Chain A
């Protein structure tokens, strides 16, 4: 995965992708705002070069909110047009691609999470990752939005993954939180170390504000999940 401020602005991107292919990489992705992919030439060129995975950062599903958070009018529409063009080019070449919407959650956009997932569904994303990025986000007040976002994805056939939240705040949505198939992106909150289930749960993000930790309640964890996770981790 090629990441950076905006890889498509890097003049050496084509040669970097070529080098990755030469080195034998089969799955090459770019973390991008996808604006550059509005151009069919860029979209076709990317796919021909071997880019098959896009990770697109979306700050909100409501255009006004996303644009305000990134500071650029029209930014969301431009990004989505880029995604649509990329996917259309791949489809015309009969090549499979994978597009992931990354939604960093903070106190300013968590209420918009279901709408953002809806936008991702509308534009054919294969997966959404809700990543808690704000240590001051109100965990208890945010959970209804996170649950709604997960459910919006499932009923529309798009998987929503939640990173940075522990099982105990999302009972009934454990599968969205479980990190059984990926490595955790960052460290856990030190408070989770005091939890009896610390070795089973992904835990709260490392920077979670202390006043939010009272929302963590291990007693809410479904005992069956604890047993399953323990068995699955033992099998790894």
Chain B
């Protein structure tokens, strides 16, 4: 490849989302890149927000119709198989296209991804905004990616990882995908981000993404995003991707103050993730004022061994008090449980189900453990007795405490119990 001269480089950004959603990650990437003066007038962007039900061959048809010079794809464990198939098709049909992957499924295992997928040219590791823009700049000038920090690339037949790029210290330097108009809010599918990182270090989770400390967007920007999304025509509900909405009491109060005017007009927040053990009547009242109609929380497990193995804490009384406080304020709680955590046997999982059903929270949801790249379980799974599928979505196959057949039985039993619970007037 060589420098492009005066022709505008065509960059297609692709996400295969859960139905109804738009990729916030791609929105951030594009918003930053479009304001990067080094790229101004030299790179044109097109975003394809498709959903996971789309056949990868048809997704490739859409991509190839745009004749991309660069294809950037956001990869999660849920869409990875389809993404890899799509990349093989695009590589074969348009070999001159530079294919770049990023996201939590590929960043932590970038070298492995390139080794196993010759159709992929570059993997962006960590936060993508600055890295992707720098990558495009280098590509546009030189036709290759060699010096950009934060990527893993091929140099001939070698796979090379450049130095990690530091995290963005001031998140407000990242243009808002909503305020720039890059992302249009859709009813029920718009998500806002008020901070990056997570106060918890659950061994199965990649919410923190290795970010370490928590970094927040500024108050003024958050309020502006809320006003824009909540005020958008046709938007009656939206949500936040923050792993803990009630990160601090002060933060919750501020958010409630900003959201309340929109709640008064009927706008609702759905499935906000909260730390339920810190919810009391005051916090529940704030959530109600903010328009929250439902929250999502754990306990994920109540088994002592699993809690210890996953670096989680659990206080049954405080958990129950939190659910009750929310119920008093008309907010339903979705209680989540995971089957297959290290240290849990089937009876531990069933005990967890008994506990949450006993609270009558509104919604009970269980899922099978998926061991995700970048998590502590991915690193230590073998020593913890976890056998999981190395292929995405990395579902647990068996553990030291639950065999394959009993895991499948537990899944079916849990679904049956949830059906019984859900069926009510």
A96-B422, A181-B417 are contacts. A235–B412 as well, Cβ < 8 Å? no
Q: Kindly state the separation between the CA atoms of A235 and B420 in the bound complex, as whole angstroms.
A: 23
Does A127 interact with chain B (Cβ within 8 Å)? yes
> In the assembled complex, which residues on chain A have CB atoms less than 8 Å from the CB atom of B423?
27, 52-53, 96-98
Instruction: Assess whether A228 is interfacial by the CB under 8 Å rule.
Output: yes
Check A180–B425 contact: CB distance below 8 A: no
> B residues within 8 A CB of A53?
420, 423
Query: Quick one: which of A52, A98, A153, A176 contacts B425, CB cutoff 8 A?
Result: A52
Whether A26 contacts B425 in the complex (CB less than 8 A), given A53-B420, A175-B410, A228-B346, comes out as yes
A27 to B353, CA, bound (A): 18
Q: Contacts of A229 on B, CB cut-off 8 Å? A: 347
- Interface size bucket, B side? 20 to 34
Question: Is A231 touching B409 in the complex (CB atoms < 8 A)?
Answer: no
Is A107 part of the binding interface, using a Cβ–Cβ cutoff of 8 Å? no
- Does A127 contact B346, Cβ atoms closer than 8 Å? no
A38 within 8 A of partner (CB): no
Chain A positions 123-142 with a Cβ under 8 Å from a chain B Cβ? 126-127
Residues of the A chain whose Cβ atoms lie less than 8 Å from the Cβ of B42: none
Residues of A146-204 at the interface with B, using a CB-CB cut-off of 8 Å, are: 153-154, 157-159, 172, 175-176, 180-181
Bitwise, A91-114 to B at CB < 8 A (1) or not (0) is: 000001110000000000000000
Residue B413 at the A interface, CB < 8 A?
A: yes
Whether A175 lies near B346 (C-beta < 8 A) is: yes
Interface residues of chain B: helix, strand, loop or mixed (majority): helix
Are the CB atoms of A175 and B409 closer together than 8 Å? yes
Q: How many A residues, CB 8 Å from partner?
A: 29
- Secondary structure of the A side of the interface? mixed
Q: Which residues of A contact B410 (CB under 8 A)?
A: 175
**Chain B, range 387-418, C-beta contacts under 8 Å to A:** 405-406, 408-410, 412-413, 415-417
**Is the CB–CB distance between A231 and B347 below 8 Å?**
yes
Q: Give the distance in Å from the alpha carbon of A59 to the alpha carbon of B183 in the complex.
A: 57
Question: B14 at the A/B interface (Cβ < 8 Å)?
Answer: no
The answer to whether A180 and B412 touch (CB under 8 A), given A52-B424, A52-B425, A97-B423, is no
B409 touches A21 (CB 8 A): no
Question: What is the bound-complex CA distance between A181 and B345, given in angstroms?
Answer: 15
CB proximity of A26 to chain B, nearest CB, Å: 4
Q: Across the two chains, which residue of chain A brings its CB closest to B419?
A: A126
The reply on A7 being an interface residue by CB < 8 A is: no
Query: Which residues of A lie under 8 Å from residue B350 when comparing CB positions?
Result: 180-181, 232
Chain A residues within an 8 Å CB radius of B420: 27, 53, 98, 126-127
Q: A52-B423, A98-B422, A175-B346 are in contact. Are A232 and B416 (CB under 8 A)?
A: no
Complex interface: chain A residues within 8 A of B415 (CB) = 157, 159
Identify A232's interface contact among B351, B405, B408, B425, CB under 8 A: B351
Q: Does B251 contact A (CB under 8 A)?
A: no
Q: For the complex formed, measure the closest distance between the CB of B169 and the CB atoms of chain A, giving whole angstroms.
A: 47
Contact status A180-B413, CB under 8 Å: no
User: Is A50 engaged at the interface, CB distance under 8 Å to the other chain?
Assistant: yes
A28 within 8 A of B: yes
On whether the beta carbons of B347 and A21 are closer than 8 Å, the reply is: no
Question: In the complex the two chains form, what is the Cα distance from A176 to B405 in whole Å?
Answer: 12
A218 to B350, CA, bound (A): 24
At the interface, yes or no: B354 with Cβ under 8 Å from chain A? yes
Minimum C-beta distance from B171 to chain A (A):
40
The one of A157, A176, A181, A236 that contacts B353, using a Cβ cutoff of 8 Å: A181
Report A128 CB to chain B, min CB distance, Å: 9
Distance of B422 from chain A, by nearest CB (Å): 4
Whole-angstrom distance between the alpha carbons of A50 and B424 in the complex? 8
Cα–Cα, bound, A126→B420 (Å): 8
Residue of B347, B351, B410 with most partner-chain A CB within 10 A:
B347
CB nearest neighbor in A for B350: A180
Known: A126-B419, A127-B419. 10 other contacts (CB 8 A): A53-B423, A96-B422, A96-B423, A98-B422, A126-B420, A154-B408, A159-B412, A159-B415, A175-B409, A229-B347
A residues bordering B, Cβ < 8 Å?
21, 26-28, 50, 52-53, 96-98, 126-127, 153-154, 157-159, 172, 175-176, 180-181, 224, 228-229, 231-232, 235-236
6 contacts between A and B (CB under 8 A): A126-B420, A158-B412, A181-B350, A181-B417, A228-B346, A231-B347
